């Protein structure tokens, strides 16, 4: 096969940007050049890789090729950065970092500030996703590093950023809002609101610990929507302690008798060499402390 890195990069851009025109803008190419590049790659593959209308989507073969394209491009980014670090002695980017909602709200901004000061040549680009998406993004090469939740086992070379526990989120006028600690059973009469963007496995485990059925009244995707519903008095939620800074003034967190911790880990991929700047980011993150 005669496949070029440019063709792979164009394919990834078309899928990520959602259209040939947007990919052309992102790559600073003409739209016809983008179309020609994808067509040439499809000619080599012997079959269509993307469906062009009504919206861009990958074919089954295109999805498989896309995974390899991301991995190859991530390896090339790492290779280029390795050579530049050897020649210039500095950490260079861009580096793509994935993290979940609560980590992106509290941990990651603090780290971004540290990296900006200690690694001024680095361009860290944050991609926010659900817990289920992060590891897949990392291993396929969509990102170069990630803040994973409860990886098992903890990847070689990774560092633990923080540990926190799960707590009840209530309106400040809730009868239990002033309690120091409550049981999940105390909330049995309250509608349970949950987010599908992460933490459901841990919340399910908490209900098992309490001997209660996990039966959410509402499941929403966005954490901001979840908190807005609790603030409106539509129910209660269970969230990690790291989300404390996300709460509105009329919301409080209360510790649970069913104690369950989660571990947040900064890591590069396990299936290929790390981007050298990720190693530098890891070393800086290891010295950072974030009280919870």
**Band of residue 196 on the pLDDT scale cut at 50, 70, 90:** confident
22-26, 47-51, 81-85, 151-155: which range is least confident on average?
81-85
d(CA 255, CA 259): 8
**Band of residue 146 on the pLDDT scale cut at 50, 70, 90:** very high
Strand 218-220, strand 192-195: pairing: parallel
What does the pLDDT average to over 234-239? Answer: 96
d(CA 9, CA 151): 30
pLDDT for 38 beyond 70: yes
pLDDT for 47 beyond 80: yes
Q: Which helix (H) or strand (E) holds 171?
A: strand 159-171
Place of tokens 């919870």: 292
Q: What are phi and psi of 124, to 5 degrees?
A: -90, 125
What does the pLDDT average to over 223-243? Answer: 95
d(CA 266, CA 154): 10
Assess contact for 141 and 219: CB atoms under 8 A.
Answer: no
What does the pLDDT average to over 268-280? Answer: 91
> What pLDDT does residue 106 have?
85
**Band of residue 289 on the pLDDT scale cut at 50, 70, 90:** low
* 230 closest CA partner among 215, 242, 247: 247
Write out pLDDT tens, residues 129-143.
988 899 999 988 999
pLDDT for 119 beyond 60: yes
Write out pLDDT tens, residues 71-99.
888 888 888 888 877 777 777 778 999 99
Assess contact for 265 and 160: CB atoms under 8 A.
Answer: yes
| Domains of the chain as residue ranges with CATH | 1-73 (1.10.10.10), 161-263 (3.40.190.10)
**Band of residue 162 on the pLDDT scale cut at 50, 70, 90:** very high
Of 78 and 178, which is predicted with more confidence? Answer: 178
Which residues, including other chains, have CB under 8 Å from residue 262's CB and lie 6 or more apart? Answer: 149, 150, 163, 164, 165, 166, 199, 202, 240
Which residues, including other chains, have CB under 8 Å from residue 128's CB and lie 6 or more apart? Answer: 98, 99, 100, 101, 104
d(CA 142, CA 74): 7
CA triple 186-189-195, angle to 5 deg:
90
d(CA 58, CA 17): 13
Percent of the chain topping pLDDT 90: 74
d(CA 49, CA 52): 10
């Amino acid at each position: 096969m005669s496949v070029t890195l440019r063709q792979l990069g164009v394919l990834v851009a078309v899928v990520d940007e959602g259209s040939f025109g947007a990919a052309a803008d992102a790559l600073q190419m003409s739209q016809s050049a983008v179309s020609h590049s994808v067509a040439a790659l499809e000619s080599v593959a012997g079959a269509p890789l993307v469906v062009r209308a009504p919206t861009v989507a990958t074919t089954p073969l295109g999805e498989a090729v896309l995974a390899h394209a991301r991995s190859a491009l991530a390896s090339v980014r790492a290779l280029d950065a390795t050579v530049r670090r050897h020649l210039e002695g500095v950490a260079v980017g861009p580096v793509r970092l994935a993290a979940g909602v609560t980590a992106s709200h509290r941990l990651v901004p603090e780290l971004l500030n540290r990296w900006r000061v200690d690694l001024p040549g680095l361009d860290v680009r944050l991609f926010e996703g659900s817990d289920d998406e992060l590891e897949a993004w990392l291993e396929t090469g969509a990102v170069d590093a990630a803040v994973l939740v409860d990886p098992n086992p903890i990847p070689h070379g990774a560092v633990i950023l923080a540990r926190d526990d799960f707590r009840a989120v209530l309106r400040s006028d809730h009868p239990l809002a002033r309690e120091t600690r409550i049981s999940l059973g105390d909330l049995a009469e309250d509608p349970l609101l949950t987010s599908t963007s992460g933490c459901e496995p841990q919340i399910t485990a908490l209900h098992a610990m309490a001997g209660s059925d996990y039966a959410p009244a509402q499941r929403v995707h966005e954490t901001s929507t979840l908190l807005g519903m609790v603030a409106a008095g539509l129910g209660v939620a269970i969230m990690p302690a790291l989300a404390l800074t996300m709460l509105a003034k009329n919301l409080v967190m209360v510790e649970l008798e069913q104690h369950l911790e989660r571990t947040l880990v900064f890591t590069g991929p396990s299936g290929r060499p790390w981007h050298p700047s990720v190693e530098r980011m890891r070393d800086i993150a290891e010295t950072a402390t974030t009280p919870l």
